[in-house]
Amino acid sequence: MAGVAELSGTDRVVVVGAGLAGAQCALKLRQGGRQGRITLVGEEPHAPYDRPPLSKDVLLGKADSTALDIDYGQLGIELLTGRRATGLTPGVLHTDGGDLPYGSLVIATGAVPRALPGAERAHLLHTLDDALALRALLRPGLRLVLVGAGWIGAEVSTAARAAGCEVTVVEAGPAPLPGALPTELGSAMAAWYAEAGVELRCGVGVAAVEPGAVLLADGSHLPADEVVVGIGARPATGWLAGSGVELDATGAVVVDGRLRTSVPGVFAAGDCVSYPSARAGARLAVQHWDHALRSGEAVAAAVLGADAPAYDPVPYFWSEQFGRMVQYAGRHAEGDQLVRRGDPRGADWSVLWLRDGVPSALLTVDRPRDLAQGRRLIERGTALDPARAADPAVPLKAAVAG
């Protein structure tokens, strides 16, 4: 009977996607008492590694590897690298290296960078190999054009300037971080580019990437020895077509509060999911390190059948750029009251978003105490006095209403 179970895969949990979410899930399954087979499947040839350092330490030459400190062999976790998922039918994950039967499946295939049409010559930064290849190109005097003034654009600009490159960033939106932050805040960050010696061109798109140049939509040309595109990412879920797993309009896997998909026995975590958030009053798709870590642990608990609350943490993200630590917690929405703490032209400052007096989100620049206190206030749903919250000399925990 044991042989039958092994062949059918009914004793096996297969985790497809060997990023942080998938690795955390496999680890927590074993630590949580799972005795059966656990198989972790990754498309890349590397063991699971951390991605945030790719645009920081790896590009800056401070690290060559960011592998996670997990001993898969000692834990009895079967790690299959270089295996790409190709499809899913009930009880079987199909890969380019053969079929893998499962009893439970966790989808953690993450997200992939959005390509720029007509920019086949451009570089994308997503994998360790991408980062090492780009690092080898950075040199004094290299003319580098970055498409997109988002988080990746700012971090790569920082590393490229440290390497002595001549950097130009092109952003179709009116200011850095369009869509993520109000224009007035993004405009305050534009000064950071100038201080670092980076030319920032906002309000213009890219028409084409040509040999030695980037053609902009306004007809102008930018000399470019190398081009990097950082215009966001999309869920890596194309392989799920026809599987019965429900996807939303963006391609994200639709899960419930226990990270269960529409297919029995199939769960999902990390950058590829859309989950319901009572805190935000909407479904959220979060593509950040903290979410990958937390959802990886939460989905392991769900597979184990643990009695845990619905997955609904306060989203959190950080970015190191131009010598500053930028941190964001929560999720703001249009109509939330914006409260400024300090002058964005200064060395450190924060902004809060309040919804009916309760903080919904917080952005801090080199103000770690604001981040720590504000994050707790968001988690607890504590109302604040807007006037006191606007005073940067008043600790946020001392700005509680009443």
Q: What is the pLDDT of residues 264-297, one digit of tens each?
A: 999 999 999 999 999 999 999 999 999 999 999 9
Decide the pairing of beta strands 104-107 and 12-16.
parallel
118: left (phi over 0), alpha (psi -120 to 50) or beta: left
| CA-angle at 185, arms to 161 and 234, nearest 5° | 70
Question: What does each C-alpha distance from 61 to 42, 55, 134, 198, 327 come to in angstroms?
Answer: 25, 10, 11, 20, 24
Task: Give the pLDDT band of residue 9 (cuts 50, 70, 90).
Answer: low
What per-residue confidence (pLDDT) applies to 38? Answer: 98
In terms of Cα–Cα distance, which of 258, 286, 257 is closest to 272? 286
Residue with tokens 């963006």: 250
What per-residue confidence (pLDDT) applies to 120? Answer: 82
CB contact at 8 A, 214 and 227: yes
Instruction: Give the mean model confidence (pLDDT) for residues 201-221.
Output: 95
- What is the chain's Cα-based Rg? 22
Percent of the chain with pLDDT over 70: 98
Whole-number average pLDDT of the chain: 95
Has residue 4 got a pLDDT over 60? no
Question: What does each C-alpha distance from 102 to 29, 40, 80, 205, 399 come to in angstroms?
Answer: 15, 12, 15, 46, 52
Distance CA 106, CA 16 (A): 6
Task: Give the pLDDT band of residue 8 (cuts 50, 70, 90).
Answer: low
Beta strands in 28-130 (DSSP E): 37-41, 77-80, 85-89, 92-95, 98-101, 104-107, 111-113, 123-124
Residue with tokens 């030319």: 199
Question: What does each C-alpha distance from 1 to 9, 54, 347 come to in angstroms?
Answer: 12, 47, 67
What per-residue confidence (pLDDT) applies to 179? Answer: 87
In terms of Cα–Cα distance, which of 107, 130, 119 is closest to 44? 130
Indicate the SS3 state at residue 172: coil
Residue ranges and CATH numbers for the domains of the chain are 2-112+233-304 (3.50.50.60), 115-229 (3.50.50.60), 323-398 (3.30.390.30)
Instruction: Give the mean model confidence (pLDDT) for residues 139-166.
Output: 97
What per-residue confidence (pLDDT) applies to 402? Answer: 80
Beta strands in 217-272 (DSSP E): 221-223, 226-229, 233-235, 253-254, 266-268
**Token code pair at residue 339:** 């409260």
The edge-to-edge listing of strands for the beta sheet with 98-101 is 85-89, 92-95, 98-101
The edge-to-edge listing of strands for the beta sheet with 123-124 is 123-124, 226-229, 143-147, 166-171, 199-202
Q: What is the DSSP string of 292-332?
A: HHHHHHHHHHHHHT----------EEEEEETTEEEEEEE--
Instruction: Give the mean model confidence (pLDDT) for residues 345-361.
Output: 96
pLDDT tens, residue by residue, 168-181:
999 999 999 998 99
Kindly give, in sequence order, each residue whose CB lies less than 8 Å from that of residue 370, ignoring residues fewer than 6 positions away.
341, 350, 362, 364, 396
Question: What does each C-alpha distance from 187 to 139, 319, 344 come to in angstroms?
Answer: 29, 17, 10
CA dihedral 303, 305, 310, 311 (to 10 degrees): -30
Percent of the chain with pLDDT over 90: 95
Indicate the SS3 state at residue 118: coil
DSSP state of 58: T
Has residue 1 got a pLDDT over 50? no
